[in-house]
Structure formats: C-alpha cells, structure tokens
Structure 1
Amino acid sequence: MAQRQPPWRAPTRAEGVELPDLVVYNSLTRTKNAFVPVNGRKVTWYACGPTVYDDAHLGHARNYVSTDIIRRTLKYYFNFDLTFVMNVTDVDDKIILRGRQQHLLADFTSKHPTLDESVLSTAKQAFEAYIKKNLTLLPPDIQLAQFDPEAKKAYKAVLEGRSLADDGTPPGDREAKIKMHLKTSATAAEALVQASSDPSSLSITDFYTQTTDVFLPYLDSLHGSEIDASDYSIFTKLTQRYEDRFTEDMQALNVLAPDVITRATEYIEKIVSMNETIVNKGSAYPTSDGSVYFDITAHEKRGLPYARLEPENRGDKALQADGEGALTQKTSEKRSDADFALWKASKPGEPSWPSPWGQGRPGWHIECSAMASDILGKTMDIHSGGVDLKFPHHDNELAQSEAYWADTACGGHSHENAQWVNYFLHMGHLSIAGSKMSKSLKNFTTIREALSRGTWTPRGLRIAFLLGNWEKGIEITDEKIKEGLAWESHVNNFFLKARDLLSNPTDSSSASPNDSDTPATNGSSDADSTLRTSLEKAKQEVDAALCNSFDTPTAMRALSTLISDYNSSNKSLLSKSTVLEAARWVTHIVTIWGLNAPGIDPSAAPDSTAIGWAGVDIPEEAKPFVIPLSRLRDDVRKRAIAAGASATIPSAALSETLAQQPHADTVQDAAAIPYAEALSQFQEDVSALAAKEAPARDYLSLCDQLRDIRLWDLGIYLEDREAQPAMIRPVDRELVAARREKEEQATAKAAAKEKREKEEAERAAKKAELAKLSHLDMFRTQEYSAWDEEGLPVRDREGREVPKSRGKKLRKEWERQRKLHEEYLAGLGKGCRWLVWLWSGNVVRKRS
C-alpha cells in the first residue's frame, strides 16, 4: 500500500523580486504550481542526460527538444538567470553489457574471418540460446527452415496486433519486445539457412551483420566474465563515441548545450562519499559481498518519504528490477526486495573502483544524486527527464538525496531540508503504434537517420513537439506531420511577404527600406487598426499560454491566428510599420523556441530588425545578381505581355533596359559564380531575341525557363504577381511539394489522355475491322441452314423456320451492318478510286 506522502512545500517568494505569473505542471504534486525559484530570479536545473551506448533516436529528441523549449522559454521569454546541468551516464549495466559484448564479438570475428563450420556451429548455438530465452513458445531446437511458419503459428496474435494472451487487452511493450525478438531470430535463421545450403552465396560480413544480435548475448554468456575489466577502454571507446554522436545530434536539432556536463565516471569518489554519509545516517546498509543498499524501511522511520512521484508503483517488481539493471544478482542479504543498490560489488568482467566496501561500481540512481548535489546543492528548482524515469529512477534519487541532506538521523521525525527538488518536469513519450520509442525495443528511428533521409527537418521535428503539450505523450501520425507542415508553411509565407515589403513596397507604402509610412498608410486606416488589435491580442494570448505551464499548442494557435488576420486584410491599407512590427514579434517568439538556425541569438529584443527564420531568404552571395536579374525579367515579361504573343517588342526599349543592367564579368566569390552566370546568360538571350525581332511569346518562354529551370536548379524561385515585381524566394519543401503535385497531376492527365486515345483507337480499329464484313454475308454461319436473297436467315441449323420475333432482331442487326459496310465501301471509293490508262506501255494513274 502506498504510504501517505508529506505535503509539498511551496518555495518562498524572495522579497522585492518580481516574478511572472507562471505556473508549471509539477510531477511532485500532479498539478500546476506557481513557479518560484529558491534564489530570486536565479533558476537551477538538473536534467537526466543520455546513457551513451547507442545512437539517440526520435524518442530522445522528444525529451531533449521539449526540455530545450522550456529552458529557452524560461531564459529568453521570462528572462530568468538559469543554470542548466546535464549528466552523461557513462557507466551502468547497459553500457557494461554493450561494451563487453561488442569487444567479444570483435575478438570472435577477427579470429574467424571466413564462414567455416566453426562459425556456423557457434551461430546455431547462439540462435538456440536466443530462442530459449526470448521466444519461449518455440522449441529451442527448432529446425531453422521451420522457424518462420512455427513462429507465425505460435505468435499469431502478436503478429496480428493483439496481446500475447489474446484476451482483448491492448498490446504493449511486452508485445513490442516479442516482435523485436521475432525479427532478430528470423534474420539470423535466414542467414543460417542460406549459409548452410550454399556458403559461397553469403559473404562473412553479411553473415555477421545478420546474426550479430544473437551472437552478442551468447558470446557474453560464455566469455563475459573472462575479459580484463580493469581495461576501462573496453567501455570508454563505446561511451566516448556515442557521447560525441549525441552532441552532434543535439547540435543538429538546435538544442542549446548544457551550462555544465557531468559524467558518472568522473564522480566516483564523490559517489562513494555520498554513500558513506547515507550509511552513517542510517538509510543504507552494506552487505557481505561489498554492495550497499538503500534501506527504505529505515528511511521512512527517519520520517522521510519514499516514492513521492509514483507511490502506487513502489511495489512493482518489474520496474524495480529494471531500475537495478540486467547484471544485478539477487541476494538474500537485502532487507527488503524493494531496497535498491547504491553501490554494486563488481563481478568478473565488470569495471570496478575502490570503496570502503571493496571493489565495485555505482548504482544507477546514486550517480545523478551525487552529480546534481555537487553542482546545485541541497535544493534545486527543477529536475527533468522522460516520464519513464519517474519510478524507480527519480523516486530513488529523491529518497537517497533527501536521506543525504536531511538533518535527522535514524529515529528522528523531521522533514526539515528534505525537499531536494521543488519542481519535477517529466516529458511525455513519443510513441509508434501505441508503443514508446525505445532502444531496448529496437523500434526506433535514429535522429541522424531521420534527418539524413529527409523524413524530418530539425525545424519540422521541433514544430511537431511544440504542437503537443510537453508533459503528455505524442504519437507521430500522418495527420500530425501534415499539421506541422501546414503551420510551418503558414508562418514561412508570412515572413516572405513581410520581407518582400521592405524590397518591394506596395504603391501606397514607402519605397524606402525603413519602416516609415506614407500619409496614405500612417496607421490610421481601419484595416491597420484591426491588425494592430490582432497583434496585441496575440501577444496577450501567447503570454497567457506560456505562463500556463508552457502551453505551446495554444501559443502557436495565437501566432497562426495573427497571420491569418494579416492574410485576410486589405494589404494596400496596412502600414508597413504595423506589418513589420508583427513580423518581428513573431520572429522573436519562434527564435526563442529554437525554430531559427543554430547560432541565432534568442535573447534579441522583440523589436530587433530581424525578420523571419533561416531558409526564408536567398543566399547573400546571390543577391547582387539575382535581384537585378529578377527586375530585368519583370521588365521583359511586362513588355511581352503588353505587346501580345505574336507581336514584337521594340528593340530600342530592350536595349535601354539592358544598358542599365550590371555586368557579372569580374566575379571574385566562387559561390556567386552560378548566379552571375544566370544573369549574364539571360542578358545575352534577351539581346539575341531582340536582334532577330522575335515575337513576344519567345520572350515569355525565356522568362519561364529562367524561373522554372535555371534559377530553380540554383534553389531560387521567382513568384510572379500581377501588380508587383516577382517575389524572390528560396525553393523550400512547400514549393517542391507543389511542383511534384503539379507534375504528378500532369503525368496522370497525360496518362489518362493516352489511355483514352488508345481505347478510342482500339474501338475504331475494331469498328473498321467489323465494317469490312458484308451485311450479305454476316449471318452465313453454321447457326443457320437457309437464307433469303439479302443474306437474312430463314431457317436455323435444324431446318426449323426462324420465328418472326427473332427475324425482326436479325433485321435490325443486318441494317446496322449494312450501313457500316456501305460507309466502309464509300471510304474506299474516296481514297482509292483510280482510272488506269495504258499509254505507250506505261501505267498512268489519275483520280476520277
């Protein structure tokens, strides 16, 4: 039964310190609490970082990007002075296992470079061991060739999307793991069958690739305890590699680097010291093997709470076992099954460090307690991580840290100094088909894979997370992807229009590049006043949303509504200053959220001159050439449209226009050369058309080619508009998608036309072939035995007279064929009627 928890103590607001009306959802209270830092406007935050034994996946992106959004909001929107600490777990059971297994596999493959009988025999034994452990419904000695049908039969319910029990309960992580094991086993079985029947058809590299996941646990079970664990490089070469790759992934996602990074292996002495203090205070005990366990019963007797986050799970043995790690062995010396390890005596094949209790290594939970306490002290404002860390990891962290910092010894009943964390923020999971994305389930897409394939962009992924509440789970669906793309496109087009206003002001706006307005648009129009009202409303709604536990979905809707209000306005009645003010404010908000490029300062004021985000503008090196090129094209296109398709454009007018154009003969910047060449080529092409007095349609075709091919291939698009110069914009996903859709529609239309023409031709050919048959002969078949002079049947094959009703039907068919055949004959007459005369021994043909 869950123990009654002490009340959460709200931090005291420092006198004279102004704080925003911010409330945050706090996992400690399961409700929203006013956010009050311990030290005025200084905020301390510890985040559980990665366990570095594999590449980070999209589930990790959900955690770290959502954390980054909240951090950015606190720092750059609410202007808190924030210290953000993140750990890297570089020693735990998963790392030890993975490092050891990969070391053993590398050793095995180096000693067995060819696909010989020894390799096959070991692989078969590894396969059987894997089946025995993970797929218990199958016999461990199952014939390899029978694996697929037997697995489909035994696990039919799971493979069809039901639970293993097939009792109507929804499938979960257990079923996801079974699918993973089935896939691993099937891949290995296929390789073993192929290698056994035809060894030369499979390279040793491919064989090892397909059987790695069954080899790893098997080799570890045989030789894991034999490795020299004092050689830390066996493990550090794994952790250093994946920490570097994790850092690269976070940089790609525009996640701000932590202010402080801590690593467990750098804190061994402080971990040992913390454990000693907890033992001395009566909340932990050593065992004879050199391990140290946290004593939950003694801890609670001290008047300190346990399982404050999820008291309902304190008896969950599966969660407890997961928290202890795969290498933990059961011991009868534990005073309670729920007690957890602070220090683990190292077994053979495991890295170890000295301690008062013997050679050992840290428990998982104590690492974070020691690191966070060392940097942030006995109380921190925020602790964060994925929602799956609530129990046992964070609950155990809380217990051991509060045991360490509490003033009371065993037998006391004071809660003084016992609230180690004031606000726990837990990020919801990202799920696929109802299962969380997980390394252990192998149902993940790595961050770098998703970005390299183009499945996601850093901005698109961040938008998807912004569209969901950070503390709730999010499932990536086609609808979610479309929603994110639509929002991004909506904002992007607004930025394009606002930036274009600076270089291409409307007739009623100022032509200068600053924000000044002409008298006609000095901000006094109804449309302008309405847009200003929309802007102020959006600011209030965004502020209220962010104050309400960082409610980004509501804040994003407020931005979207403001942009929609602008889009529906009469643009000619809007002042430039109002539009640009709105654009700069929207830029400020999306930059705070990290939707701009890495390196863009999120602390810039909302009224800074920046407008838009990365990718909304063409390259700087392109501008000196593309802008005049676009203006020249505008002029040529305008003249061609005015002249009419068949008319010519006066060459004198074109010569004058060309004379005013810059020349790109001496370009120094290599990056600018393609744009300079585009300008020069278009100038030459226009001159050539003018010289031969080409019709206006040729100029229009040239303008289209420049837009649709030459500049498109350079990543630039010219969006033609009726009353204004073309908008110069980069080719983005929206444009690419629109072009692809247009091309697909054109292809489909052409295919439909071709199919229609083919069917019509086939019908015509069939009709023509049918027309060759004379109506006089059409019924002279074995179906009848007598006919009249017109070829109509009068008796059937048995000699019976054809009934009158049948005769009428046959007459109608005969009439249709007669008409068709006569048309055929008439056609022959028109095309092939010749008079042939013999003249002096020659054949002379002449149409009659």
Structure 2
Amino acid sequence: MATVRQPPWQAPAPTNAKIPEIRIYNSLTRQKELFVPSDDEGKKITWYACGPTVYDDAHLGHARNYVTTDIIRRILKDYFKFDVKFVMNITDVDDKIIIRGRQQHLLSEFTSKHVKLDDEVISTAQAAFKAYIKKNLVQIDAETQPHRYESVTKQAYAGVLEGKSLEGSGKPPGDKEAKVKMHIKTAASAAEVLQSASKGESLDLTEFYTKTQDVLLPYLDQLYGSSLDIRDYSIFSKLTTKYENRFMEDVRALNVLDADLITRVTEYSKEIAEFVDKIVNNKFAYATSDGSVYFDIAAFEKAGNSYARLEPWSRGDKELQADGEGALTKKSTEKRSDADFALWKASKPGEPSWPSPWGRGRPGWHIECSAMASDVLGPKMDIHSGGIDLAFPHHDNELAQSEAYWHGLEQDHSHQHQWVNYFLHMGHLSIQGSKMSKSLKNFTTIREALERGEWNARSLRIVFLFKSWKDGIEITDDLVKEGIGWEYKVNNFFLKAKDLERNPSYNTPSVEHDSALAKALSEAQHKVDEALRDSFNTRDVMRAISNIITEYNTLEKNSLTDETILTVARWITQLVTTLGLDGKADLSDPNRVGWSGIDIPEAAVPLVYPLSRLRDEVRKNAIAGITSPELLTTIASKDQAAKLQEAETLPYAEVLTQFQEDVRNFAEKGASAKELLQLCDQLRDVKLWDLGIYLEDREGQPAMVRPVDQELVAAREAKVEKERKKLADKQKREHEEAEKAAKKAERAKLSHLEMFRTSEYSAWDDEGLPLRDAKGDEIPKNRTKKLKKEWVEQKKLHEQWKTANSGPSS
C-alpha cells in the first residue's frame, strides 16, 4: 500500500474539528495522502473540475469522467458530510471549436449553393479526397483514384489493418493505429461515392454529402476559413450553445448532479487577459511581435519553481506539447523554448478575437481554467479533477501559470505557492486498447447508448463503481455480466424487503439467525466505511453490499425478524442513493427502502394489490381442492372496482373486474381445481404481464407484486426457447424415427433369397447366400458368417412383411 502522510503544505487541522480520516490518491504526489481541507474548520471543500469542450455530443468516455467525478463528489458530500463547492468550466472557444464551427458554417454554405449533384460538387469532393489522403494517410499516393483506393490501402496499411502497430514491431497498437484506421474509414466512405459518380451512376445528393462530408469539412476550411468575417461570434456560439445544452441533458440523464457554478471561457475574456498580464509582470511570460504571449518555463524554474510536476516524464513529448497548443497555433521563431506554451494567441484571419494589452487575440487553452478557477475559488483550492489525458500538458501548464500568477503570495516565502492541494485524475474508458475519443471517432455517444437501451444511468454507474476511479476501464462481457448480476441481486432483495413492508410476516425469530444477520450488517458497515476512507474504494463497497445480501439469502427467511431485514434494506438504500444509483431519490428519509424501478405504476397500486389478494385466495383453495361455488362467489365479490376510472387506472380496473367475473362464472359451472389454477396462471402470465406487472408465487406466502423487468423477460424468453428447443428436438426424433421406419418398411419388401444377388458376387447357394465374389474367388468363412447373420435378419423382416400384407385367409 502506498505511504500515507500528512501533506507538508498544509497546517495541522484544528483540534476542535472532526475531520474524517480519508486517504486520497493524489496525482500531484502519486501516492495516497490524508485529505485535509484548507478550510479553517475542515468542513468546506473547494473543487474545480475541467468540463467539456462543446463542439460535439458527449460519449461514453466522457461519461466515465463525469459519472466517476459525481460518485466521489456524492461520497464527500453525502457520506462524509462535507460542504462541497463544485465548480465546472465550459470550454466554448478553442482551436477545435473554431475549426469545427468554421467547417460546419462553410459546408452549410456550400450545400445550400449546390442543391444538385453537379460537376462542381463532384470535382470539389475529389479534390477534398486527395487533400485528405495527402495529410492523413501518408503511405498512400495522394493521386490514388477512388476505384483503386481499397486495394492500395490494404497493401500500404496491411499491418495496421491486421491489428499490428505502425512500426511493425511487437509493440501493441494504440491511439496512433486507431487514428489511422479512422482516416482509412473516412476516406473509404468518400471513395465509394466518388467511384459511383465516375461511373455515371445515379446518386442521392444527401447520401453523397453524408459520405463525403468528413473530407469536405477540412478542405473547405483550408480554402475559405481564413476569409470568414469572425466579428460575429454566432458562427461558433450556434455550435457551442447547442452542444452545451445537449451535454447537460446527457449527464443529467446519467444522474450527474449539476455543478454549483459553471464558468464559460467567452464570459471571461477580460479577466483572462488581466490574468496573463500579471504573469508577464511577474516576469514568467513574454510577448512576441505578433501579439501572442508565451509562458517562460526557464524563468519559472529559475525562480525555484518546478514544471511538469504531474507528469515530469512527459515534458519532452513534442506530440503532447503540439496537441496542447492546438492546430491553429502559429509557429513563432520568437519562442525562447519549444516547450513554452501560449497564454494568449494573436488571432489570425478567420478566428475570433478579444481586446488585450497585446492587441486582439484569444485565450490559450490552459490559461482559461487558471483564470476562471482563481477568480471563483481564489489562490488555493482543495481538489482539481479531470480525465487522465489532461494531466500533461493541460494541468501541468495550469499549475505552472497559476503559481506564476500567485507568486509571492506567502509572506514568509518558505515554499512555492500551492495552487491545488489534490489532483484527481479519472481513468479512461477504452476500446480494444485505445481510449474512447472524439478525435478517433471510435465512440458511442451517451444519448445513443441510452436510446438504444445498451445502458441506463444505473447500469453504467454500476460498471464504473466496480473499478477504481483512477484506473482505466475496458468494458468486457465479463464486466457487463458482473454488473447485471449485482443489480439483479440488489433488485430482488429490495423487492422482498418492500413486500415485507406491505405484508409483515410477524415471524417467530431464531435468535441465532437474527443475531447473525445483525452482526453481518455491522461488519458490512465497517468494511464500507473503511473502503470509502481508502481513496473511495467503491469496488469493496459493491462487494460488501453483495455479501450482506448473500448472508440474508443464506439464512432461513422465516427465522429473521422483519425489523432486522428492513434495517439491512434501509442501510443499503442509503448507500446506493449516496453512490447515485437512484436518480429519483434523496437521503432525507432514513426509513426509505429500495430504489426506482421496483415499484409498479402508482395508478396500479389501488387495483392490482386487491387483485393479487383475490387471486391468492382462489389459488390457495384450488391447490387444497376446495372449489365451493359459494366460497368462490364470496371471494370474487370483494374489492369491487369503481365504475368510473381515470384513464391511467382503467386498464388495471378492467383486469380486476374481468377476473372477478371469470371466477363467478367458474363457480356457476362448477369448475375443477385445475381449471381455476389455469385461470390464475393466465392472469399472472398474460393479463398482468401485458400491463408490465408480474405476480411471483411463493409457497406459503402471498404472491409478490413486482414490475416486469429485464430479468423476468430474459427468464421467460429462456423458458420459451427451452420449450421451443424441446419441441424441435421431439419433432426431429419423430421425423428420424418415421424415416427409419419407412426405410425399414421398404427394405422389408426385399426377399432374403434375392438380397445378395448383385454384381458384387458371382455364385450363390440355393438360399441366395453368396459363395464367390465378383472375381470368382471363394468368400472367406468370417465374411460368410457375417452375411449369414444379415440374411437371417432380412428373412425375419421379409416374412413379417409378407404376413402383414397377405390377404385374409379363405
């Protein structure tokens, strides 16, 4: 286990403060540390989270970050009772947004001007196809014609397409290879329709644009992007507003709590410029002649500070540096070091700009978070979080420029300024070794996954809870099955507990068993508390919940008191709510049991529960062989539904009324116990099932009323499939037996005296048994013995056939 220590930068907590002893893995020191908030009373936590860059829909990789962040936030707030101030930014201006906004604007203009698939549209798409290959698929000749694209690509990138690395070494493929595959796929889409166009085939214009848009977008931007008049920021705000709203819808659908405060880059241009200016005045940044400002890493370190404290091993990675600077950053010969990064960028034609002391420009990517977080939270914050891909260069640059801004704040100058006390970096969600990424186009958006039913807010969060928040996740079949199994287990336990609330058992308890469950609960509570204090170890929390339910299932149900069972249920309810697994609940009611999804519709309650009791009585008597018409009529007369019903209650009222009528009719005609049981089964398996409700029959207890869920549907489908297979197997056996019988009947017609008189032999005895083979050689004795056995069997079969087919004797 990693060393646990008191952070050297933090004064000891006040003696009168009751701060939970929590250890958190801190990316800044790469070890677990005692968590001590900077608040004097130790109760308030300040937290800044890097939010989305809003130019496209959020995907499941983003969900991993924001859902996991939400889990930790809820634990600190609801379990450890901290007052958490949670701030998140929205990046609504950066290179990606500028490029995407311009591209979509230009493509929209192009498609509106070309409403027919004319020569200009095709020639532009062809030029865009060549430009795309030249830039992104360097191992292919840019002049490759669409009809040869597939074969040339398969040859040039054979290794990558076979799952190997670009270098051809034993190194496993990663993001580079995934990006190449993405480019191959994009170009292939364009090549397909361009090839059809060259053959003169009839093409749908919408389909043509759909399949060529990903090569047209960068090409049109290259041609016309710099000529756009960007004084009107609406070109970009249309894009960012749309995707910010969709992002908020998506994370709310995943039961992620709203931030206490959201900051947007475009609302902070003045403050960001002032922030940069102070860094320049502190001698840690310099302006270039074009109006850009760069951070001076050498000056920063010369003053006794450290750069790249999060990932020192990455500080020389030019690819990461370039990615952090953005695709639109102009290369400057005035940079003092290649590693120096832009704080303020002089805007070029076709880019938005804001006023600054160095002329019109726009914020660098990293400076936005430093300025906004410092403005809202001040010179120091407890927690800064984001995906692990942000550690370098984004967060390392944030740290450096913020510490440069607040430089000299400590009066005693005993140590460098500590801007962030704890960095929390969430692990990636990966697909076949590559992170899920917009740039790789290997993602499923959150809303796609939810709409298709692949995931819901609970099932996705459960999978994330099974893994450490700081580790990567690759969603495998085994992990999905584990999550489904855990959810069903908790679901069924809650159903039983809720039923116990409605139908108290009044058991005579076994002191031994009741005490065993109470002890197991105490141990589970201890393990959960220990796990959450150990850097939010939710994996062990999930195990503890599963284990206490297993303990309950193991003990005899009728030997436990209702209160002991319900105490366990209430504790689990509070815990799963704390983890965010119930989107419709809060923690205000300590006596609440269960989570959403286990209750039948509210409109059904006053009708279905009486119906279930009625069915229980009919079924109980039928099982006992009691079919008294008077008794059945009396039972069916209880709990009559009102004649007037609201629209939402009407289907349930109709089922109740119909069942009562059916029972009375069965009573009148003197129905058997079997017929009554069939009636009860039909109500359970058809009438209520079609309304999304199931009655789970239990020996010696009332039926449990529950909604139809995936588990029940899967069980029914499995049962139907088993019966289908059983019937199919039976039909197959019957068919094979019929064929066998038919062949036997046909064979029986052949006389034993003639069965061997074929070209295989050349001599026979009087009974038709072979003496010599076709060559004239005598048949060996062992072969003769076998043929005699076959002859005897055929004689018996043939004589049976003759007897069966002979006419009546005269």
Do these two structures clear the TM 0.5 threshold for a shared fold by scoring above it?
A: yes
CA drift at 1:801: 5.3
Per-residue deviation, residues 22-66 of structure 1 (Å, max 9, x unmatched): 111111111111111111201110000000011111110000000
Aligned residue runs from structure 1 range 415-814, under 5 A: 416=415, 418-506=417-505, 508-509=506-507, 520-521=508-509, 525-598=511-584, 600-602=585-587, 604=588, 608-643=590-625, 649-668=627-646, 670-797=647-774, 802=779, 804-814=781-791
How much has 1:159 moved relative to structure 2? 1.6
1:727-755: per-residue Cα shift (whole Å, max 9, x none)? Answer: 11111122122222222222222222222
Give TM-score, length-normalised by structure 1.
0.92
Partners in 2 of 1:799 and 1:471 — Cα distance?
87
Query: Contact (CA 8 Å) 2:47, 2:381: kept in 1 or not?
Result: yes
Residue identity matched to 1:343: W
AA matched with 2:553:
N
Aligned partners of 1:177, 1:692: CA distance in 2, in Å?
Answer: 74
Which residue in 2 is equivalent to 1:270? 271
The question of whether the paired residues in 2 share the 8 Å contact of 1:11 and 1:37 is answered with no
Q: Would you say the 8 A contact 1:637–1:700 is kept in 2?
A: yes
Q: Which residue of 2 aligns with 1:30?
A: 30
Counterparts of 2:128 and 2:808, CA distance in 1: 89
Aligned twin of 2:367: 366
* AA at the equivalent of 1:339: D
Measured after TM superposition, the shift of residue 702 of structure 1 is: 1.4
1:46 is matched by which residue type in structure 2? Y
Note if contact 2:409-2:417 (Cα within 8 Å) is conserved in structure 1.
Answer: no
Structure 1 residues 584 and 797, CA gap change in structure 2 (3 angstroms): closer
Structure 2 SS opposite 1:727: strand
Give the CA deviation at 1:656.
0.9
1:207 Cα shift?
1.4
Q: Distance in 2 between matches of 1:801 and 1:548?
A: 91
How many Å apart are 1:780 and its aligned residue? Answer: 2.8
Distance 1:813 1:226, change over 3 A: same
Which amino acid is 2:556 matched to?
Answer: N
1:398 and 1:420 in contact (8 A); partners too: yes
* Distance apart, 1:580 and its partner CA: 1.0
> Which runs of 5 or more structure 2 residues have no equivalent in the other structure?
1-6
Superposed CA deviations along residues 105-138 of structure 1, whole A, max 9, x for unmatched, are 1111111222222222221211111111111111
Query: Residue type matched to 1:249 in 2?
Result: D
Which residue type is aligned with residue 743 of structure 2? Answer: K
**Aligned letter for 1:63?**
N
Identity of aligned residues (%): 62
**How far did 1:573 drift?**
2.1
Deviates more, 1:814-823 or 1:358-367: 814-823
Check the 8 A contact 1:304/1:413 in 2, yes or no: no
**CA distance in structure 1 between the aligned counterparts of 2:178 and 2:79, rounded to whole angstroms:** 41
- AA matched with 2:140: L
How big is the shift at 1:15?
A: 4.5
- Give deviations 1:286-344, integer Å, cap 9, x for gaps: 11111111111111222222111111211111111010011112110101100000111
Please list, as runs of the form range in 1=range in 2, the aligned pairs for 1:242-321 lying within 5 A after superposition.
242-321=243-322
- Distance in 2 of aligned mates of 1:820 and 1:123: 80
1:127 pairs with one of 126, 129, 132:
129
Question: Distance between the aligned counterparts of 1:351 and 1:76, measured in 2?
Answer: 43
Mapped to 2, the partners of 1:450 and 1:756 lie a distance apart of: 44
Residue pair 1:104, 1:219 contacting (<8 A) in 2 also: yes
Instruction: Tell me the equivalent position of 1:843.
Output: none
795-804 or 279-288: which moved more? 795-804
Q: Which moved more, 1:690-699 or 1:450-459?
A: 690-699
SS at match of 1:44: strand
> What is aligned with 1:155?
157
Q: Tell me the TM-score normalised to structure 2 length.
A: 0.96
Equivalent in the alignment of 1:164: 166
Stretch moving more, 413-422 or 96-105: 413-422
Which letter maps to 2:285? Answer: A
CA distance in 2: counterparts of 1:636 and 1:763, whole angstroms = 49
Post-superposition offset of 1:9: 1.4
Match for 2:137: what amino acid?
A: L
Task: Give the C-alpha shift of residue 504 in structure 1.
Answer: 2.0
Q: Secondary structure at the match of 2:89?
A: strand
Partner of 2:148: 146
**TM-aligned CA distance change 1:413 to 1:124, over 3 Å:** farther
Q: Does 1:210 align with 2:211?
A: yes
1:405–1:417 contact (8 Å) kept in structure 2: no
| Residue correspondence of structure 1 range 3-18 to structure 2 within 5 A | 9-18=9-18
Say which SS state the counterpart of residue 218 (structure 1) adopts: helix
In 2: Cα distance, 1:576 partner to 1:505 partner: 7
For 1:674 and 1:28, locate their aligned partners in 2 and report how far apart those are by CA, in whole Å. 60
| Residue deviations 1:614-651 (CA, integer Å, cap 9, x gap) | 011111111111101111111111111111xxxx7111
Contact (CA 8 Å) 2:320, 2:392: kept in 1 or not? yes
Which amino acid counterpart does residue 22 of structure 2 have in structure 1? L
2:640 and 2:657 in contact (8 A); partners too: no
Partner of 2:198: 196
Partner of 1:262: helix, strand, or coil?
A: strand
Q: CA deviation at 1:11?
A: 4.7
Does the 8 A contact of 1:667 with 1:673 survive in 2?
yes
Give the whole-Å Cα distance in 2 for the aligned partners of 1:118 and 1:704.
69
- The answer as to whether partners of 1:320 and 1:392 remain within 8 angstroms in 2 is yes
Instruction: Please tell me the residue identity of whatever aligns with 1:622.
Output: A
Two-structure CA RMSD over aligned residues (Å): 1.9
Task: Give, in whole Å, the separation in 2 of the partners of 1:806 and 1:715.
Answer: 70
Kindly state the Cα deviation for residue 255 of structure 1 after the two structures are TM-superposed. 0.2
Sort the Cα spacing of 1:13 and 1:122 in 2 relative to 1 into closer, same or farther, 3 A: same
State how 1:330-369 maps to structure 2 within 5 Å: 330-369=331-370
TM superposition shift of 1:796: 4.5
CA distance in 1, matches of 2:110, 2:760: 83
Letter in 2 for 1:457: N
Write the distance in 1 (CA, Å) between the matches of 2:266 and 2:639.
65
In structure 2, C-alpha distance between the alignment counterparts of 1:210 and 1:8, rounded to whole Å: 57
Higher mean C-alpha displacement, 736-745 vs 448-457 = 736-745
Q: Is the 8 A contact 1:8 1:29 kept in 2?
A: no
CA contact (8 A) 2:769 2:788 kept: yes
* Partner of residue 805, structure 2: 828
Taking the aligned partners of 1:783 and 1:304, their CA distance within structure 2 comes to: 101
Distance 2:428 2:258 in 1: 22
Instruction: Return the letter of the residue paired with 1:770.
Output: R
Contact 1:302 1:414 in 2 (8 A): no
Where in structure 1 are there 5+ consecutive unaligned residues? 1-6, 510-519, 836-847
Are residues 642 and 27 of structure 1, via their aligned partners in 2, closer, same or farther at CA, if it must alter by over 3 Å? same
Deviation at 1:434, TM superposition (A): 1.1
C-alpha change, 1:800 and 1:378, in structure 2 (3 Å) is closer
Residues 1:824 and 1:31: Cα distance change in structure 2 (over 3 Å)? same
Asked whether the equivalents of residues 268 and 362 of structure 1 are also in contact (C-alpha less than 8 Å), the reply is yes
Partner of 1:720, secondary structure, is strand
